[in-house]
Amino acid sequence: MKIKLKEAADLVGGVVIGNPELEINGLAKIEEAKIGELTFLYLPAYEKFLKSTNASAVLIGPEFKRTRDDLSYIEVKNPHLALQKIIISFLKPEINWEGIDHSASLDPSVKIGKNVKIGKNVVVEEGCSINDDTTILHNTVILANVKIGTNCLIYTNVSIRENCKIGNNVIIHSNTVVGSDGFGYIPDASGAYQKIPQIGNVVLEDDVELGSNVSIDRAALGSTIIKKGVKIDNLVQIAHNVVIGDHTAIAAQAGIAGSTTVGKHCMLAGQVGVVGHIEITDQVIVGAQSGISKPVTKPGKYRGSPAQDMGQALKIEAHLRNVPVYAEKIKKLEEKIAFLEAKISEIISKGS
């Protein structure tokens, strides 16, 4: 990477303060950057590193003071988003091969689009289709009748089960499973669990990204649906017949039980658990380690287990942290009450 500061500023719509001809040869975190590198500042917690950074230039928001004259700056409204644009334009990793590796096993019926890349030991079964500009990396297995859209990137060791549908611009990271059997069993007269066939599929709409080791179960009937623009972190479990609304983000180790619907533009933080057969409305934010045990009908922020309005939950947590203090105060009050009761009894006995 070698670009002039002005080129980076033009790309992100920023204003150069300093030397527009400064040559940038890399990107780095503000506390680790070296001479010749561009860094960024968008969180107040990192402002302290501005005094000591060795970077040559900083992507900076207008709310921060530019305290060093020896640095050049690109002032931009959203430095984090600006950094993303620079990385995509100048540092995006490239897949360094063309075509289909000789070790891949593709059924003759598979339909392949233009500029498709398929790596070593990939298996694609009968009835599948893979559209233009899609890349499938090594050891991935795609079972029968899967449809994969345009410009997808599927990393190593991914499993996509039969009949699933993948939209355009989808990214699936390593070791993720799309379309595993839903957790469906029913006890018989003896109490032994009998498996309910899971004959539905999974649909990933356009612009979805799945992290590594994600499990998305196929529907018992119909489809488990991950809608447009959803982003799912590593180690997330999505059960059968769940529907996740457009542009919702789900962080690591969250789990959603079967037949639940999550609305649009929601955020589920790490280790959130959601029971089955409920609905969560649009624009809901759920704090880490919370448990959703009933429908959420109002947009807003929720926290706790069972989850409740975040403001109320934080007040309760504050009181819980003060329980030892409260216990000591109660003990002293009880002692005072006992003392006063003894005095009152003494006065009454003397009066009689």
Q: Which amino acid is at 327?
A: A
240 is catalytic: yes
Q: Residue 210: beta bridge partners? A: 172, 232
- Report yes or no: 255 and 233 within 8 Å, Cβ to Cβ: no
Peptide bond into 62 cis (omega under 30): no
Distances from the Cα of 338 to the Cαs of 103, 328, 331, 345, in angstroms?
86, 15, 11, 10
In terms of C-beta density within 10 A (0-12 exposed, 13-18 middle, 19 or more buried), how is residue 59 classed? buried
Which of the following is catalytic: 138, 173, 240, 265?
A: 240
**What span, in angstroms and rounded, lies between the C-alpha atoms of 147 and 138?**
19
Q: Which residues are catalytic?
A: 240
